[in-house]
Structure 1
Amino acid sequence: MSLIVQKFGGTSVGSIERIEQVAEKVAGFHANGDDIVVVVSAMSGETNRLLALASEIQDQPVAREMDVLLSTGEQVTVALLSMALNKRGVKARSYTGGQVRILTDSAHTKARIREIDDARMRRDLEDGSVLVVAGFQGVDESGNITTLGRGGSDTTAVALAAALHADECQIYTDVDGVYTTDPRVVDGARRLPRVTFEEMLEMASMGSKVLQIRAVEFAGKYNVPLRVLHSFEDGPGTLITLEVDSAMETPTISGIAFNRDEAKLTIEGVPDTPGVAYKILGPIGEANIEVDVIVQNVSHDKTVDFTFTVSRNDLAAAQSVLCRVASELSAGEVCADSKIAKVSVVGVGMRSHAGVASQMFAALAEEGINIMMITTSEIRISVIIEEKFLELAVRCLHSSFGLEREPKDESTH
């Protein structure tokens, strides 16, 4: 018998028919003798409907009241799924985040979990109940409803799995696992049987949308085995753990991630003096704008051209800040480019295999794709290229590293 936490997103519970399907799946696990905790999101479209209602009242509502409003979406789902389980003879109890006592800080709309009181849940599990918990929400020390921000239901599921010492946290979604890259871009993309937390974290931060970064970080910190599965199709999915399978040969590269949501800013002719990077990026950080790739080039006249990337949504705000900085530093022109993209190769095997960068650059050069910027970590190499070459770049790299082929099984040799 296992203790399993299962999370179903908005599309998985988007209609009464789908809620009934989820109930059938959960009832099957319960019938096998497993203890089940189910975390659900609001029904698809519900959060947007609530946001639209709020905007009709006020352009910028108080964050506390937004949390009260948005948390109702998950409350509807937990009640309906519990009803569907009870109809099937499965004893089920619904919980809001406050009833579970998911204690958070008081940062409304983007709260962080501080602790979880698992005593009540354990009592109900021992009584044979399936627990149906509202994702995305908690309460602060004053009893105010809080929400966890984007990807909050994934984070709720992983946090509950950590608190309950669950055997596995299963994330059900509209894909049947983590792929070597987006199957919509590369026909030969292959489902990975397992990846490490490190690889998944890099892939998520580089543009893979299967799991939210926060949930992967949480799972890695508390060593919660994660499995990505299709909501309505049977299959083994992808297991995300600390270590790769020792029975398999570790591939050099596990996947190709990409992100279209990129923009590039350059400030030219900046005096090459100590602290100049801070003088440029300090005001950008104060404007709450996240910076990704950074390149600084020193020219022969002792000035530097300083280039960095930001989210495309932050481009206008960042450009405004940078123009002010350019004036203060008596620098040259500020140039912006929103037609760029980032492509990354990711794999723990890079630690023990040389030549990944040269192979990547050679593959791109063969297709005539120019590299604008490069950034690396121990298990990842990312390049900034023109957006129009993005899909070509992903396809050629996927082929160059042979990701369409299954890795060799050392046990057969």
Structure 2
Amino acid sequence: MARLVMKFGGTSVADLDRIRNVAAHVKREVDAGHQVAVVVSAMSGKTNELVAFCRGAALLHDAREYDAVVASGEQVTSGLLAITLQAMGVDARSWQGWQVPIVTDQAHGAARIASIDGTRVIQQMEEGRVAVIAGFQGIAPDGRISTLGRGGSDTSAVAIAAALKAERCDIYTDVDGVYTTDPRVVPKARRLDKVSFEEMLEMASLGSKVLQVRSVELAMVHRVRTFVRSSFEDPANPKTMPNGDPFGTLICDEDEIVEQQVVTGIAYSKDEAQISIRRVADKPGVAAAVFVPLAAANINVDMIVQNVSSDGKETDITFTVPAVDYERAVSVLESNLEGIGYQAIEGAKDVCKVSVIGIGMRSHAGVAADAFQALASKGINIRAITTSEIKISVLIDAAYTELAVRTLHSVYGLDKA
């Protein structure tokens, strides 16, 4: 008998029919003899509606009251699912975050989990009762409800799985696993049976929308085996792998992956903007003068390229920021002109970051060269490059995004069955 945490997102619990479908998935695992805890999101669209209510009431509002309002979406879902399970003959009880308790820090609206005491939930599960837990929320040190920010339900599920010492955390979503790239761009994209924590973290941070970055970070730190599967398959007759395992993608330790591909997947993100600072004096402290004010404004900087002039007196610094922060970043730099001493600022928002990801890159040479050669053969110019042990990212013109993704997907043999 395994202890499982099952997480269902907003589209999976969008209405009562889908909640009944979720209940059937939960009942299947209970009937198989497993101890089950379920983490649920708000019904699709409800969080946006609640956020709009808060803004409509007052544009500048108390973050504690904001949390009290938006946390209600998950509370409704957890209660409805518990009622539905009870009607199916499954002993179930709903839990709000503060009842577990899930203790967070004081940052209302974007809180981080500090600790979870799973003792009471484990006791109930061992007595055969399903725990239906409202995701996205906890209790802050001030005794008020706190919320974890967007994507917080995934984070809740992984953290709860760690606290309950669950064998696995199953993330049910509207796709049946993690693919080598976006199937909408590359129809030949393949579902991956297994992905390492490190690869999934890179994929999530570089544009893959399957899992939230915070949840993957937590899974990696606590070694929580996480399984991505579809909530829309038939609960009574779920698809299985040839070996009998559930159909989906397991995110796990690298050691569990027997055959490691050199490249696992291609990710892309169009939410990028490029900023270039021209003719800055090449002297100690100039980089700090540029990036410290940006950090103080909570603007994340990603790709950085520096080109020094032939006489060594001036340099150009190019970097990327999230597209939503572009105007704010330019404003910060303009207000720090005297401290930086640049001659001009240039920028572009019509850019895209395309990334090649794979743990096999650690032990294989020539992966980067293959990418650069393939892109050059298609006439795609590279604006900037960053690398790590298991990824290569290039910044290109947004117009070439799909061509670049298809080209790289093919050059590394990811099209092959």
| TM-score, shorter chain, exceeding 0.5 | yes
Q: Does 1:251 align with 2:261?
A: yes
- Select which of 383, 386, 397 maps to 1:375: 386
- Select which of 360, 365, 370 maps to 1:349: 360
In structure 1, what is the equivalent of residue 281 of structure 2?
A: 271
Residue deviations 1:344-372 (CA, integer Å, cap 9, x gap): 00000001111000000011001000000
In structure 2, what is the equivalent of residue 90 of structure 1?
A: 90
CA distance, structure 2, for counterparts of residue 21 and residue 305 of structure 1: 57
1:65 Cα deviation from its structure 2 partner? 0.9
* Unaligned runs of at least 5 residues, structure 2: 240-246
CA distance, structure 2, for counterparts of residue 152 and residue 64 of structure 1: 17
CA distance, structure 2, for counterparts of residue 150 and residue 48 of structure 1: 10
Q: Does 1:154 align with 2:154?
A: yes
Retained in 2: the 8 A contact 1:92–1:129? yes
1:126 Cα deviation from its structure 2 partner? 1.6
Instruction: Assess, with a 3 A threshold, how the Cα gap between structure 1 residues 183 and 141 changes in structure 2: closer, same or farther.
Output: same
What do you get for the CA RMSD once the two structures are aligned? 1.0
What does 1:188-227 correspond to in 2, within 5 Å? 188-227=188-227
In structure 2, what is the equivalent of residue 178 of structure 1?
A: 178
Please identify, of 238-247 and 1-10, the stretch whose mean Cα deviation from structure 2 is larger: 238-247
Task: State the identity %.
Answer: 53
In structure 2, what is the equivalent of residue 400 of structure 1?
A: 411
In structure 2, what is the equivalent of residue 336 of structure 1?
A: 347
Please identify, of 258-267 and 110-119, the stretch whose mean Cα deviation from structure 2 is larger: 110-119
CA distance, structure 2, for counterparts of residue 400 and residue 245 of structure 1: 26
What does 1:248-327 correspond to in 2, within 5 Å? 248=259, 250-301=260-311, 302-327=313-338
Q: Give the match's secondary structure for 1:200.
A: helix
Retained in 1: the 8 A contact 2:194–2:257? no
CA distance, structure 2, for counterparts of residue 321 and residue 155 of structure 1: 32
Q: Give the match's secondary structure for 2:405.
A: helix
Instruction: Assess, with a 3 A threshold, how the Cα gap between structure 1 residues 176 and 303 changes in structure 2: closer, same or farther.
Output: same
1:329 Cα deviation from its structure 2 partner? 3.3
* Unaligned runs of at least 5 residues, structure 1: 407-413
What does 1:49-64 correspond to in 2, within 5 Å? 49-64=49-64
Q: Does 1:115 align with 2:125?
A: no
Q: Give the match's secondary structure for 2:336.
A: helix
Letter in 2 for 1:262: E
Residue deviations 1:290-336 (CA, integer Å, cap 9, x gap): 11101111012410101110000000000111122334433211011
CA distance, structure 1, for counterparts of residue 122 and residue 341 of structure 2: 64
Retained in 2: the 8 A contact 1:290–1:311? yes
Retained in 2: the 8 A contact 1:270–1:330? yes
Residue deviations 1:64-117 (CA, integer Å, cap 9, x gap): 111111100000000000010000000000000001100111111111111111
1:52 Cα deviation from its structure 2 partner? 1.2
Q: Which TM-score applies when normalising by structure 1?
A: 0.97
Please identify, of 64-73 and 323-332, the stretch whose mean Cα deviation from structure 2 is larger: 323-332
Retained in 2: the 8 A contact 1:267–1:322? no
Retained in 2: the 8 A contact 1:326–1:334? no
CA distance, structure 1, for counterparts of residue 299 and residue 25 of structure 2: 42
CA distance, structure 1, for counterparts of residue 342 and residue 140 of structure 2: 47
Instruction: Assess, with a 3 A threshold, how the Cα gap between structure 1 residues 60 and 304 changes in structure 2: closer, same or farther.
Output: same
Q: Give the match's secondary structure for 2:303.
A: strand
CA distance, structure 2, for counterparts of residue 92 and residue 295 of structure 1: 55
Q: Does 1:124 align with 2:124?
A: yes
In structure 1, what is the equivalent of residue 244 of structure 2?
A: none
CA distance, structure 1, for counterparts of residue 333 and residue 382 of structure 2: 24
Retained in 2: the 8 A contact 1:267–1:305? yes
Residue deviations 1:160-184 (CA, integer Å, cap 9, x gap): 1101110100000010000000000
What is the count of residue pairs matched by the alignment? 405
Q: Does 1:387 align with 2:398?
A: yes
Letter in 1 for 2:215: A
Letter in 2 for 1:323: E
Retained in 1: the 8 A contact 2:196–2:253? yes
CA distance, structure 1, for counterparts of residue 338 and residue 411 of structure 2: 46
Letter in 1 for 2:31: A
Letter in 1 for 2:266: I
CA distance, structure 1, for counterparts of residue 263 and residue 176 of structure 2: 20
CA distance, structure 1, for counterparts of residue 404 and residue 257 of structure 2: 31
What does 1:129-140 correspond to in 2, within 5 Å? 129-140=129-140
1:60 Cα deviation from its structure 2 partner? 2.0
1:246 Cα deviation from its structure 2 partner? 5.0
1:23 Cα deviation from its structure 2 partner? 0.5
In structure 2, what is the equivalent of residue 409 of structure 1?
A: none
Q: Which TM-score applies when normalising by structure 2?
A: 0.96
Q: Give the match's secondary structure for 2:169.
A: strand
CA distance, structure 2, for counterparts of residue 340 and residue 81 of structure 1: 43
In structure 2, what is the equivalent of residue 239 of structure 1?
A: 250
Instruction: Assess, with a 3 A threshold, how the Cα gap between structure 1 residues 91 and 186 changes in structure 2: closer, same or farther.
Output: same
Q: Give the match's secondary structure for 2:52.
A: helix
Residue deviations 1:372-393 (CA, integer Å, cap 9, x gap): 0000010000000000000100
1:123 Cα deviation from its structure 2 partner? 1.5
In structure 2, what is the equivalent of residue 410 of structure 1?
A: none
CA distance, structure 2, for counterparts of residue 328 and residue 294 of structure 1: 19
